[in-house]
Amino acid sequence: MNAPRYPLGRAWLTLTGALALHVADEAAHDFLAVYNPAVRALREAAPWLPLPTFNFGLWLTGLILAVMLLFAFTPVAVHGRRWIVVVAHVYALLMLGNGTVHLGYSVYSHAVMPGAWSSPLLLATAVWLWLEARRAWREPV
């Protein structure tokens, strides 16, 4: 059994809290009013892209369940098993992409995209998780 890696667990927990705040930010600012029309336009330009559209209830329920699952994996992250360190890298990269898209689209459109207010926190905590995952990966098993 691996020794506890509290920094990885704390970074995982903090990023998941930031993601929960980000979901609330998106929900409070009608994210789907931006997302669904953008997906429809992309489908017209590239019909082979498998991008879904959502209704609010399904979208929010799915995100709440995902955040709850991520919170549930915090004890595993604390112990830093090799597989969770790999998952932490992927999780951090996905959240870096998520936050970057929100901020980038806000700059591109000259309007604040729903979710943009919480994106800096999402980016900062994703960088922290990435750094802790790299450190945990380098430690002997």
Length of the chain equals: 141
> Looking at this protein, which amino acid is placed at residue 12?
W
Give the pLDDT confidence score for residue 139 in this predicted structure. 81
pTM: 0.91
φ/ψ region of 138 (left if φ > 0, alpha if ψ in -120 to 50, else beta) reads alpha
Do 17 and 114 meet the contact criterion of CB atoms below 8 Å apart?
Answer: no
Q: Which of 115, 126, 117, 132 is nearest to 63 (CA)?
A: 115
Do 26 and 101 meet the contact criterion of CB atoms below 8 Å apart?
Answer: no
pLDDT grade, residue 4 (50/70/90)?
low
Check pLDDT > 90 for residue 5: no
For residues 141, 79, 7, 140, the Cα torsion angle rounded to the nearest 10 degrees is: 0
Q: Which of 18, 22, 20, 40 is nearest to 31 (CA)?
A: 22
pLDDT digits 0-9 by tens, 43-55: 999 999 999 999 9
Domain boundaries, the chain: 6-29+59-138
CA separation, residue 37 to residues 1, 32, 33, 43, 137 (Å)? 48, 8, 7, 10, 41
What average pLDDT does the chain have?
94
pLDDT digits 0-9 by tens, 72-126: 999 999 988 889 999 999 999 999 999 999 999 999 999 999 999 999 999 999 9
